[in-house]
């Protein structure tokens, strides 16, 4: 059987809830319990969705953490254009 027929892919659509005192959500929850777990799945992985932080701003702490996790697991976000009306990039399509 050809290799391409024997591979499996996992697709994840995510919406990262912006942290607030009202919802109790923290960035560490998204990175530690979300992105890190998805990134180690031993299949071809495609993650798409709205991460609710500006990944195009290199000084953004959340963006730096996100990219560090992605690159350590050989995942790359191919979107490098504005995906938000303010000219920033919030939505991504990530793949291995």
Give 6-48 pLDDT, tens digit per residue: 567 888 888 877 888 898 888 888 888 888 888 888 888 888 8
Number of domains the chain is built from: 1
* DSSP secondary structure, 15-28, as one string: E-PPP-TTT---HH
pLDDT number for residue 40: 83
| Parent domain of 32 | 9-83
Distance CA 37, CA 30 (A): 10
Q: Which residues contact 29 (CB under 8 A, 6 or more apart)?
A: none
Does 16 map to a domain?
yes
Does 18 map to a domain?
yes
């Amino acid at each position: 059987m050809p290799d391409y027929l024997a591979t499996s892919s996992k697709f994840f659509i995510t919406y990262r809830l912006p942290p607030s005192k009202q919802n109790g959500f923290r960035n560490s929850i998204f990175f530690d319990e979300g992105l890190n777990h998805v990134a180690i799945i031993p299949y071809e992985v495609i993650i798409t969705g709205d991460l609710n932080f500006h990944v195009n701003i290199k000084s953004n702490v959340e963006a730096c953490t996100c990219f560090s996790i992605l690159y350590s697991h050989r995942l790359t976000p191919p979107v490098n254009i504005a995906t938000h009306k303010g000219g920033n990039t919030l939505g991504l399509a990530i793949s291995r």
